[in-house]
Amino acid sequence: MKAEEIIQCPAGAMFRHPEKGLVIGVGPFEECADWPEGRTAFYVNDFFLSAAKPWKIPSEVVVLSESCLRKEPLPVQWEAPSPAAFVQVFEEIARELKSGRLVKTVPAVAEKGVIGEGHSPKEIVLAAASAPDYLYPYAFWEGDRGICGATPEILFRQRGRRLETMALAGTARPEDIEVFRDDAKEIHEHEIVVRALLSRLSPHGNLVRAPRGIMELGSLVHFLTPLALDADEDLSPGFWLNLLHPTPALGCQPCTPETLGLLKQWRERLRCPASFGAPFGLGMDGEVIMLVAIRGVEWRGNRLSLTAGGGIVEASSVTHEWREFGLKRAAIRRVLGLA
């Protein structure tokens, strides 16, 4: 199979493994509740983990070392998201933050679009597969529905007792990088995520935090803190998934049924698809890599949802956050070849 033949499959999955290359799963898929260790499988779920059998075992697995050929930009007629809806949600979040019931939450705004006649949303898969090396392309589709993106964020990477994860939060434009390094609001937002990960992981083994750095992603920069755990026990990928998802980078802090319920309401009002920020994973050769499914799109038929989220803390301003959401959506369009 050539890379350009990927999108001809009625059902398929894609994951670019950092060492192995482009891993393609060809449907139909067998579904199961837990990772069938010893077999290659893709993990596909929604943000609130509602799928009873999220592991998808393909009928055929193909690993490609060559890059895909990027197509011309896919023509899309976009419908701008509503700033009024965002302002209303932001004001509600601000009240929760001021009361102390929330420290941080991450609403997400969706931009809707219709693909031009004569084109298929599966063309986006080729563009994602051609993404720069610092991104992790992912995709899954069946029939006329699918998701596809190129995320910079790993939820975790596990081999046996070794677990690697990251805090990725705080955003700026590259031209503002020197100011960004010392931005108290962005550092505070980032450290909320770091502290939550430290709190969740430290009871389970020897945890090492690397120094905070900056990840440069072309048109955006983020604070990045890698963490590595040597666990006391050999625990399942499902255990780590339930422990870590959602981190405050995409969820809320504190993370309780009540705060998650509020986040779900805000996401729905901002037309955020259920797949945004969900775990997306690959289990292969004794290792599981679980991504955070951001910087992507969801489609049904010829209709797209392109979503961007952003962390809101007490020091946030509505104008700054709205601008940041727009910058992220523009970056997604560039990477995925969406006009």
Domains of the chain: 3-336 (3.60.120.10)
With a CB cutoff of 8 Å and minimum separation 6, the contacts of 42 are 13, 15, 25, 29, 55, 56, 58, 140, 280, 281, 282, 283
Q: What confidence score (pLDDT) does residue 70 get?
A: 63
Q: What confidence score (pLDDT) does residue 5 get?
A: 75
Q: What confidence score (pLDDT) does residue 190 get?
A: 95
Q: What confidence score (pLDDT) does residue 73 get?
A: 87
Tell me the whole-structure pTM to 2 decimals.
0.95
Give the tokens for residue 191: 């450290």
Residue 339 has pLDDT above 80, yes or no: no
> What are 224's strand-pairing partners?
168, 213
pLDDT band at 2 (very low <50, low <70, confident <90, very high): low
CA distance 5 to 126: 9
| Mean pLDDT score, 227-243 | 97
For the chain, what percent of residues have pLDDT higher than 90?
A: 91
**How far apart, in Å, are the Cα atoms of 50 and each of 44, 46, 53, 274, 275?**
10, 6, 9, 10, 11
Cis peptide bond upstream of 254, omega within 30: yes
Residue 66 has pLDDT above 70, yes or no: no
CA distance 319 to 59: 48
Q: What confidence score (pLDDT) does residue 104 get?
A: 95
Residue 68 has pLDDT above 70, yes or no: no
| Mean pLDDT score, 131-153 | 95
Residue 196: DSSP 8-state: H
| Mean pLDDT score, 99-124 | 94
By DSSP bridging, strand 11-17 and strand 21-32 are antiparallel
Give the tokens for residue 182: 């010392």
CB atoms < 10 A from the CB of 270, how many?
20
Q: What are phi and psi of 312, to 5 degrees?
A: -120, 125
| Mean pLDDT score, 258-267 | 96
Q: What are phi and psi of 11, to 5 degrees?
A: -140, 135
Name the burial class of residue 208, with classes exposed (0-12), middle (13-18) and buried (19+) by CB atoms within 10 angstroms of its CB: exposed
> What are 12's strand-pairing partners?
26, 141
Q: What confidence score (pLDDT) does residue 328 get?
A: 93
With a CB cutoff of 8 Å and minimum separation 6, the contacts of 200 are 243, 244
Give the tokens for residue 27: 């449907």
Tell me: the pLDDT tens digits for 169-227?
999 999 999 999 999 999 999 999 999 999 999 999 999 999 999 999 988 999 999 99
State which amino acid sits at residue 302.
N
Residue 250: DSSP 8-state: T
Q: What confidence score (pLDDT) does residue 3 get?
A: 64
